[in-house]
Amino acid sequence: MYANFELDLAADLDEALAVLADADGADVAPLAGGTNLIVDLRAGRCRPKRLVALGRVEALRGIGEDGPRVRIGGRTTVSELLASPLVAATAPSLVQSARLFAGQMVRNTATVAGNIACGSPAADLVPPLLALDAELTLASRAGSRTVPLADFYRGYKKDVRRADELIAAVAWPKPAAGARSSFYKLGRRKGDAITITGVAVSLAVDRGVCTRARIALGAVAPVVLRARAAEAMLEGQRLTAELVAAAAARAAGEASPIDDIRASAAYRRHTVQVLARRLLGGAWQAGS
């Protein structure tokens, strides 16, 4: 059973931003694919008085190059990510995540901005984007600002987005030569499963020396997080199997998982170590 709400079908970005600007804080919610929001409405987990539907807002769509960066509109769907040669060339980890995301019907409607904004620590597009140093463009009627994804979350389902802002776009730098990224989603099934542990890595290696390391962990803390201490162990160092194993162990130490119906905290922590070692090792070998 739904509580009553008004629905605005915004014709363009200006109209969507005007609705958000005129509304009073949390009383209005952007509606993208609805694959989270409609479920939450039906369960009574949120009761916005007004929804602003973004389906007609063309300015929030599109995948393209923007100088040294790749830029995708916030309304890009998971299926559109999978169909993009530019995403495949610059963000293989994001493609791996998109491939394991839900089922076909949900992939056709679920959007990147909706995945980021829902704030779930198990949101599957977030670890690869975090490891790619993605930045968000937050648009409002007052103007736009850029926020690194690494600075977006403030706690479980809390973020820095103001109620009058939309996630208009997501951008990441094109990878340097020798850089590799990958993602692994561990779930109870191969398809349509909520993530138990998600690990994304992005590694750049120059003649055996790691010049850039990113390790992002999903579903093992209140927010998707970067394992910064583990990254610091790798950067500037000549890679060895022992160093990679030690960094993976450090990454597991940076997680703060919980027990739930899908897995125990101990299992989650163990799988962070196993997956981080495997992904880092693979990226190192492929990049050197």
Ligand X SMILES: Cc1cc2nc3c(=O)[nH]c(=O)nc-3n(C[C@H](O)[C@H](O)[C@H](O)COP(=O)(O)OP(=O)(O)OC[C@H]3O[C@@H](n4cnc5c(N)ncnc54)[C@H](O)[C@@H]3O)c2cc1C
Q: Return residues touching ligand X (CB under 6 A).
A: 29-37, 39, 54, 74, 101-102, 106, 109-111, 113-115, 117-118, 123-124, 166-167, 192
Question: Which of 112, 270, 250, 251 lies closest to 186, judged by CA?
Answer: 270
Positive or negative, the CA dihedral 90, 96, 97, 100 is positive
Q: How far is the CB of 257 from ligand X (least distance, A)?
A: 17
Question: Which residue, 118 or 225, has its beta carbon nearer to ligand X?
Answer: 118
- Collect all residues with Cβ–Cβ distance below 8 Å to 4 and sequence separation of at least 6: none
Closest residue to ligand X, Cβ-based?
A: 114
User: 84 or 204: whose CB is closer to ligand X?
Assistant: 84
Q: What is the CA radius of gyration of the chain?
A: 19
**d(C-alpha 165, C-alpha 30), whole Å:** 9
Per DSSP, the chain holds a count of helices (H) and strands (E) of 11, 14
Least distance (Å) between residue 88 CB and ligand X: 19
Task: Give whichever of 219 and 247 is closer to ligand X, judged by the CB atom.
Answer: 219
Nearer to ligand X, 32 or 201 (CB): 32
Smallest gap from Cβ 138 to ligand X, in A, equals: 8
Cβ(194)–Cβ(187) below 8 Å: yes
Q: Which is nearer to ligand X, 224 or 230 (CB)?
A: 224
SS3 181: strand
Smallest distance from the beta carbon of 267 to ligand X, in angstroms? 19
**Cβ atoms of residues 12 and 60 within 8 Å:** no
Query: Which residue is associated with the tokens 């703060």?
Result: 256
**Smallest distance from ligand X to CB 229, Å:** 26
Question: Nearest approach, Cβ of 75 to ligand X (angstroms)?
Answer: 6
Please say which residue, 54 or 91, places its beta carbon nearer to ligand X. 54
- Cα separation, 41 vs 167, in Å, equals 21
